[in-house]
A and B are shown apart, each in its own frame.
Chain A
Amino acid sequence: EIVLTQSPGTLSLSPGERATLSCRASQNVGSSHLAWYQHNPGQAPRLLIYGVSSRATGIPDRFSGGGSETDFTLTISRLEPEDFAVYYCQQYAFSPITFGQGTRLETK
């Protein structure tokens, strides 16, 4: 099973700042089978990015994804108040699909 390790565990930033979240895979997952989700507790998780860098429908362009093989990033260019949430990466290159443990983005 592929283990995804997200860092940092918690990221403290202010609105308007740039956020960079990391996701590292225990094995090469290629260049297309990685997704990112946003989750506010008590709400439904939301798909942000699929295929490493493709934004899901309705996702603002301040969200971008990149990387390949074992190292991936989610970047939020200018944080809005609604962006403070927990973010998960997911690999779907190999079964079983697996998720990272999450990065909590909190207001500084």
Chain B
Amino acid sequence: EVQLVESGGGLVQPGGSLRLSCAASGFTFSSDWMLWVRQAPGKGLVWVSRINSDGSSTTYADSVKGRITVSRDNTKNTLYLQMDTLRAEDTAMYYCGRGFSGNSFVLDHWGQGTLVTVSS
């Protein structure tokens, strides 16, 4: 069974940093693209970032470019999201997801999310 478990969320001050993790199991992690999607309170889903299977290619939404870095450790079956210079508008539930084999922009499995709150 595919499982994705996010962790690392919490309360951080504006300008601070946080690293989110997504532990994967139940599939060959090193073969699949992975994505991050976030949902601000009361709002819809917004794509944040995508990384290819070996970590050599990454893409970001314009709203986070330059402040957020996605990476992965295929030896640990773990996806990461390093978030720097955080702003109040980064407050959201952050979900990791596996890219579908038919099209890696479709998320065929998601985690339950980890909540990031940016506030002083």
Q: Interface residues, chain A, CB within 8 Å of chain B?
A: 33, 35, 37, 42-47, 50-51, 56-57, 88, 90, 92, 95-102
Contact B110 A44 (CB under 8 A): yes
Contact B44 A44 (CB under 8 A): no
| A92 partner, pick from B45, B105, B109, B110, beta carbons under 8 A | B105
Contact B44 A47 (CB under 8 A): no
**Complex contacts, B100 vs chain A, CB 8 Å:** 47, 50
Q: Report the tally of A-B residue pairs with Cβ distances under 8 A.
A: 58
- The residue of chain B having its C-beta at the shortest distance from the C-beta of A46 within the complex is B110
In addition to A99-B47, A102-B44, 14 A-B residue pairs with Cβ atoms within 8 Å of each other are A35-B106, A44-B111, A44-B112, A45-B45, A45-B97, A45-B110, A47-B100, A47-B110, A50-B103, A57-B108, A90-B45, A90-B106, A96-B47, A97-B47
Contact B110 A100 (CB under 8 A): no
Is B4 part of the contact surface with A, judged by Cβ < 8 Å? yes
- Beyond A44-B95, A88-B45, A102-B44, whether A96 also contacts B62 by CB under 8 A is yes
| B107 partner, pick from A33, A47, A98, beta carbons under 8 A | A47
Is B11 part of the contact surface with A, judged by Cβ < 8 Å? no
Interface core residue of B4, B47, B59 (most chain A CB under 10 Å): B47
CA distance A98 to B107 in the complex (A): 12
Residues in B104-120 with C-beta less than 8 Å from chain A:
105-113
